[in-house]
Amino acid sequence: MKIIVLVKYVPDIEAGYQFNSARRLDRGGDGLLNQLDEYPLEQARRLAEQFGAEVVALTLGPDEAEEAVRRALQMGADSGVHVCDAAVEGSDALATALILAAAIRRLGGADLILCGAGSADATTSLIPVQLAARLQIPALTGAASLTVQDGAVEIRRDLDAWSLQLAAPLPALVSVNDKTGEPAYPSAKAVMLARKKPVESLDLADIGVDPAAVGAGGAKVEVASITPAPARAGGQILDSESDDVVAAFVALLQANALI
Amino acid sequence: MSDILTLLDDPAREAERLAFAGAIGRPVGVRLAGGPELAARPGTVAAALATLAVERDAAAVLLPQGLFGAEVAALLALRLGAAAITDVVAIDPDLTATKPIMAGTAFSRARVTGGLAIFTVQPGLEAPPLAEPAEVVELAPPAAAAGEDRVAVLGLTPRAASGGRPDLLSAEIIVSAGRGTGGDLGPVEQLADALGAAVGASRAAVDAGWVDPSLQVGQTGKTVSPRLYVAAGISGAIQHQAGMRGAGLIVAVNEDPEAPIFEIADLGIVGDLGEVLPAAAAAVRAL
Ligand SMILES: Cc1cc2nc3c(=O)[nH]c(=O)nc-3n(C[C@H](O)[C@H](O)[C@H](O)COP(=O)(O)OP(=O)(O)OC[C@H]3O[C@@H](n4cnc5c(N)ncnc54)[C@H](O)[C@@H]3O)c2cc1C
Ligand SMILES: Cc1cc2nc3c(=O)[nH]c(=O)nc-3n(C[C@H](O)[C@H](O)[C@H](O)COP(=O)(O)OP(=O)(O)OC[C@H]3O[C@@H](n4cnc5c(N)ncnc54)[C@H](O)[C@@H]3O)c2cc1C
C-alpha cells in the first residue's frame, strides 16, 4: 500500500507574520508544519505499522516549506516531495489543487491520499475535495476515525446531530480532523533517521503544469486589503480574594442590558 | 438585479440567509431534498446548484459556513471554473467580501474576479428584513456525481442533544468550560442556566470526554459571536481565541493571573471557578 500525506508549511501565527505589498503572505518568516497535518501523518504512521505501507509526504510551497516535509519525515513518512516554483506565488485554492493533483499523478498516484482538516493560515478546507475531484477518486472528509480493510477505507464523520459511517473503495482521498488521535512525539532516534530520508524537489515543468494557469495571474480571487483585527484591549482584572467580583460581573451584565 | 442563490439547509436560518442575500441582490432560496447523508454528497449538491446558477445567470451563490458548505463551494467552483471565498462575515454590494484570516487575528477583503462568486457565510449575520417574501426553489438532487457514487453511507446514528439549552451559534450569552473545570460541569451549567445561556467548551474539555464535541469553540470547533462569552477555566490558546474573539464582551474566570485569556477579557476574574461561578449564578437569580 502507498500513502501520500499532504502537508502544508504555514507561518507561526503566534510568532507574528507579515503580508507583503502585493497583499500576499510573506512565506519567508517563521514557519512550521501545519499542526492539523500532524493528524493525517499519525494515521499514516499507524497504517504503515499495520500494513507495512510506504508513506510519502508531499508539500507545495516556498523554499522554507521543506521544513514541513522534514518534520513529516521525523513523524514517520519514508520520503518527501517538495513542489517549489516561483510561478506558484499568489495561487488560489483552485490552482493549488491543480498543482497538487499534477504532482500526485507524476508520483504515480497512491492507494490512499491523506489530508488535514484545514490550514492554520487560510483554513478554507477547499483543497481536499477539489483534489479528489481532479484525480477522479472518491473523497471521505472530516474523518474523526479511520480504518482500512479489504481494499476499502471507512470513516466516521460527526455532524452536529448525526454521526455518519462512510466507506469508499481504494484509491481514495480522506481528510482527517483532530479527533483521530494525538500524534506521537518523534523519538530522538526518529529525528536522526529522518535526516537520511530522501526529499525530491520538483518544479512546475517537472509535473507538467503551465505556469500561466496558476499563481497570481491565474487566480480568480483578488485580495483588496488586509487589516489587523481590532485590538481587544484587556479590561479590568479583579482578584476574587480581595475584590467583590460578583458585584462587578452583575454590574457588567446590567450596563450592557444582558439581563 | 441579479439573482443571489442561497442554500437553505437549516429551517431556523432561512429568514436570516435570505435577508443577507437580499442586501446584495435578488434573493433566491434553494431547498434540497435529502437528509443528513447529503453531507457526504457535496459534489451532487454542487451539480444541482451549478445548473441553476447557469440557467439564471446568478451573480453569487451563498453557502453555509462549515465543512459541508466549503466542499459544495469547492466543487461548484471547480465545475464552473469560478472561485470561492470561505467564512465571510460581510459582503458589499460590489461583492467584495470580508473574512477573518490567520486564526482571527486579521481580516481580508477580497473579490472574485469574473464569473460566479461563491461564498460560505457565517451564521448569525445581521441584515435588514426583506420587504417582500423571496422566491424559493425546491430542488430534487440529481444522481450522485462522479466519485461520490462510490461513497457508501453505511450508518447514520443520532448524537446527544444539548439538553434544552440555546444553540451555540444563536445564543446571546455563552458560558464555556475548560480543563480548569476538572470535569465538574456543575458551576458552568449553573451560571449558564441562570443567564439563559448556551454551554460551550475548549478542546481540552471535549477531548477529556466531559463535553459533547458539537459544543467545542475554536479553530476546529465553532466560531461564535455572542454578546457575552464567559470563559471558565480556559487558558486562552490561540486556537480557542480563533473561535471566540469576535464576541461582544469577554469575561474570563481563571486562577492563573498570567493566563493569556486575560489579555482579551473585558472583565478578568482571578479565582477558583468552583466558587466564583455559583456565587455569580446566585446573584443573577436573585435579581
Ligand atoms: C489568508 C489567506 C486566505 C485565503 N483565502 C482564500 C479563499 O477564500 N479562496 C481561495 O480560493 N483561496 C484562498 N487563499 C489561497 C489558498 O490558501 C491557497 O491556495 C492554499 O494553498 C490552499 O488553501 P488552504 O490553505 O485554505 O487549504 P485547506 O483546504 O484549508 O487545507 C486542507 C488540507 O489540504 C492540504 N494542503 C493545503 N495546501 C497545501 C499545500 N500547499 N501543500 C500540501 N498540502 C496542502 C493539507 O493537508 C491541508 O490540511 C487564501 C490564502 C491566504 C494566505
Ligand atoms: C491544530 C489544533 C487545533 C486546535 N483547535 C482547538 C479548538 O478548536 N478549540 C480549543 O479550545 N482548543 C483547540 N486546540 C487546543 C488548544 O491549543 C489548547 O490546548 C486548548 O484550548 C486548551 O484548553 P483549556 O484552556 O481548557 O486547557 P488549559 O490550557 O489546560 O487551561 C486550563 C486553565 O484552567 C485554569 N484553571 C485550573 N483550575 C482552575 C480553577 N479551579 N478555577 C479557575 N481556573 C482554573 C488554569 O489556570 C488554566 O489556565 C487546538 C490545538 C491544535 C494543535
Architecture of the B3-150 domain: 3-Layer(aba) Sandwich (3.40)
Any A CB within 8 A of B231 CB? no
Ligand 2 pocket test: pick from B216, B254, B264, B272 the residue with the most ligand atoms within 8 Å of its Cβ: B254
Local confidence band at A143 (pLDDT 50, 70, 90 cut-offs): very high
A35-44, A234-243, B54-63, range with the lowest pLDDT? A234-243
DSSP string, B68-124: HHHHHHHHHHHHHT-EEEEEESEE-TT--EEEEETTTTEEEEEEE-SS-EEEEE-TT
Among candidates A229, A241, A250 on the partner chain, residue whose Cβ is nearest the Cβ of B106:
A229
Is pLDDT of B184 > 80?
Answer: yes
**Amino acid identity at B43:** G
Q: Sheet holding B97-101: strands in order across?
A: A221-228, B106-112, B97-101, B90-91
* Whole-number average pLDDT of chain B: 94
Check for a shared fold between B3-150 and B173-285. yes
Local confidence band at A243 (pLDDT 50, 70, 90 cut-offs): very high
* Whole-number average pLDDT of chain A: 95
CA A78 vs. chain centroid, Å, equals 19
Q: What is the pLDDT of residues A7-59, one digit of tens each?
A: 999 999 888 888 887 788 876 668 999 999 999 999 999 999 999 999 999 99
CB within 8 Å: B77 and A249: no
Phi, then psi, of A175 in degrees rounded to 5: -105, 135
- 10 Å Cβ neighbour count for B138? 10
- Residue A149 has a pLDDT of 96
- Residue A30 has a pLDDT of 82
3-state secondary structure (DSSP) of residue B57 = coil
- 10 Å Cβ neighbour count for B275? 14
Is pLDDT of B277 > 80?
Answer: yes
pTM for this one? Answer: 0.96
The answer for B 85-104 residues in CB contact with A (under 8 A) is 85-87, 96, 100-104
Domains, in order of start, for chain A: 2-218 (3.40.50.620)
From CA A186, how far away is CA A182, in angstroms rounded? Answer: 12
DSSP string, A144-174: EEEEEETTEEEEEEE-SSEEEEEEEESSEEE
The domain B173-285: what is its CATH number? 3.40.50.1220
ipTM of the complex: 0.95
Domain boundaries, chain B: 3-150, 173-285
Is pLDDT of B185 > 80?
Answer: yes
Instruction: Please give the average per-residue pLDDT across A202-224, as a whole number.
Output: 94
With cell 487566480, the residue in question is A219
Contact residues, chain A, for B274 at CB < 8 Å:
none
Instruction: Please say whether the dihedral angle defined by the alpha carbons of residues B62, B68, B226 and B102, taken in this order, is positive or negative.
Output: negative
Contacts of A44 (CB under 8 A, 6+ apart): A3, A5, A53, A55, A76, A77, A114
Counting ligands in written order, the one closest to the CA of B204 is 2
Is pLDDT of B174 > 90?
Answer: yes
| Number of continuous H segments (helices) and E segments (strands) in chain B | 7, 15
- Residue B162 has a pLDDT of 67
Q: What is the pLDDT of residues B115-160, one digit of tens each?
A: 899 999 999 888 999 999 999 999 987 788 888 999 999 999 998 7
Higher pLDDT, A161 or A148: A148
Q: What is the pLDDT of residues A78-90, one digit of tens each?
A: 999 999 999 999 8
